[in-house]
A and B are shown apart, each in its own frame.
Chain A
């Protein structure tokens, strides 16, 4: 278990105050924040390259905040990788084992397994200058993993890669993690990256932790409008609590004259009538109803009529811009291609949409 408590860093214009992160043994934790939020400063403090103003760091049962970097057992893959250009791939990979004076015999099998998984065998005698972008990433990852670190730090591991290679590396990271289980803290501004790879997440904005949680919790239930917007959320509305239907255990919310119904169990804080909140639903959770098909019970309470304004083909899915007839509330809807073909949609067409109650989310 990795524990970071009360980390406070004041540097230049950066103010990071009282940051707490916990990472389970063998976990893949993401620190997500916008570019320029000081994420690299945090990594440098965990590594020991920067002395934070305050804070304690435990790696396993060792408290390490006063140890120099070489004694923390933390491997680091920087954004620019920093492969040693004067050393061959093989020498790069073995650098950590040699520097720590570890017994090569014990590590040989493990390192070779990594070489196999990462398909680095044919590259071993090359210099980094003769590697492609994806190959460089792989070598940098292997170099970091070779001495079996107690914590692996990744700084924007998928940035600057061609889309196809990005997918490869993403799968490789997942594969590596499920085969070798390094405890990993990954810093990124890209939620999709984090969504694909991570199990735990810390959302970090303006020097503060905004939300900590499991991936899906954050994805579907952001704590604040700020977090929702950072995660690229569409369909955010200012809503007002209208009434509590005690009999059906539901709250009715009003947006521009339209009424939304959500289970009281989903509203976590105490609210009262007239209170204004942010209402949110992910574009993937909005359904377009097919005519002549029965509607499920969970969808019946939030059905709205309107018109399709625009459709964009995004390759893997279609993006539909919809506006309700009453109240003119815009919705963005993401539809998988197979579903899109069945729906027979066109611009200007009048359709009905349905929102699953459990997918509606209220932020106070």
Chain B
């Protein structure tokens, strides 16, 4: 077999592998419990909760991640290397360990103070957002840094020399130039938050109608052998996943000035 066909063959295998997996779901579609599960209030609640939580977690991640990404991309400062490495912690530590760490933290005096005087996180909706934020903040920062790295600091230098303050140079030049990359980072982070399971279930629990996000709902449906419900939720999750991927693809489309 030629070199070329071996390589392409491997790529096709991966495609068949994933596509077959999704296709197999449809084997059970249309059972009598299927439509029932689709319109069940708990299912709809899970979808809504997942959408809201992932969006809020992503917003928070961008709010703190974008300035951090800019700092890492443009400035030299003490401890930069350590900071950069720490961003990878959520990528290498198992999500369940991350969630468990939060449980431990909220049992320390400081954690208890935050919960009693501020917001309650453990087994509550804010816990979902916090868990998702923790999982994606590092990733979001990393991805956004990569897109900022692609924009030469020379543009800002020129903008500054022409009279822009650093803030103006950022939003008039760097931000529009890196917008596609930043948007793709945001979408990917959102997708990761949307599908987050381990940290969320550990910190916020799995209470139907309260803290049950879609991945958690899939888990509980399987645990109670409710195959129909599980498949409905998986398909919806896959649907959203494909939509986000399509979104990322769109951001990759070239602008007219390229």
User: Which positions 62-103 of chain A face chain B at CB distance < 8 Å?
Assistant: 68-70, 72, 74-76, 78, 80, 82, 84-86, 95-96, 99-100
Contact A86 B161 (CB under 8 A): no
Whether a CB of chain B sits under 8 angstroms from the CB of A52 is no
Chain A residues with CB under 8 A of B157: 44, 47, 49, 69, 76, 78, 82
Whether a CB of chain A sits under 8 angstroms from the CB of B255 is yes
Residue pairs across A and B with CB atoms within 8 Å: the count is 74
Whether a CB of chain B sits under 8 angstroms from the CB of A33 is no
Query: What residues make up the interface of A, taking CB atoms closer than 8 Å to B?
Result: 44, 47-49, 68-70, 72, 74-76, 78, 80, 82, 84-86, 95-96, 99-100, 127-130, 143-144, 147, 153
Which chain A residue lies CB-closest to B157?
A49
User: Which positions 204-258 of chain B face chain A at CB distance < 8 Å?
Assistant: 255-258
A86 vs B255: C-alpha distance when bound (angstroms): 9
Whether A86 touches B162, Cβ cut-off 8 Å, given contacts A80-B152, A80-B154, is no
Whether A69 touches B161, Cβ cut-off 8 Å, given contacts A80-B154, A99-B168, is yes
User: Which positions 141-162 of chain B face chain A at CB distance < 8 Å?
Assistant: 152, 154-155, 157-162
Whether a CB of chain A sits under 8 angstroms from the CB of B164 is yes
Contact B163 A147 (CB under 8 A): yes
A358 vs B183: C-alpha distance when bound (angstroms): 68
Whether a CB of chain A sits under 8 angstroms from the CB of B94 is no
Whether a CB of chain A sits under 8 angstroms from the CB of B108 is no
A163 vs B159: C-alpha distance when bound (angstroms): 30
Whether A95 touches B162, Cβ cut-off 8 Å, given contacts A82-B154, A84-B173, is yes
Whether a CB of chain A sits under 8 angstroms from the CB of B177 is yes
Contact A74 B161 (CB under 8 A): yes
Chain B residues with CB under 8 A of A99: 159, 162-164, 168, 172
Minimum Cβ distance to chain B for residue A311 (Å): 45
Query: What residues make up the interface of B, taking CB atoms closer than 8 Å to A?
Result: 152, 154-155, 157-166, 168, 172-173, 176-177, 255-258
Chain A residues with CB under 8 A of B165: 68, 70
Contact B258 A85 (CB under 8 A): yes
Which chain A residue lies CB-closest to B158?
A82
Which chain B residue lies CB-closest to A128?
B257
Residue from A44, A76, A86, A129 having most chain B Cβ neighbours under 10 A = A86
A249 vs B99: C-alpha distance when bound (angstroms): 94
> Contacts A48-B160, A95-B162, A147-B162 given; 9 further ones with Cβ under 8 A?
A44-B157, A47-B161, A49-B157, A68-B166, A70-B161, A70-B164, A76-B161, A82-B158, A143-B158
Contact A100 B154 (CB under 8 A): no
Other-chain residue from B158, B160, B164, B176 in contact with A86 (beta carbon distance below 8 A): B176
Contact A95 B159 (CB under 8 A): yes
Chain B residues with CB under 8 A of A48: 160
Which chain B residue lies CB-closest to A47?
B161
Minimum Cβ distance to chain A for residue B254 (Å): 10
Which chain B residue lies CB-closest to A127?
B257
Which chain A residue lies CB-closest to B160?
A69
Other-chain residue from B158, B172, B257 in contact with A129 (beta carbon distance below 8 A): B257
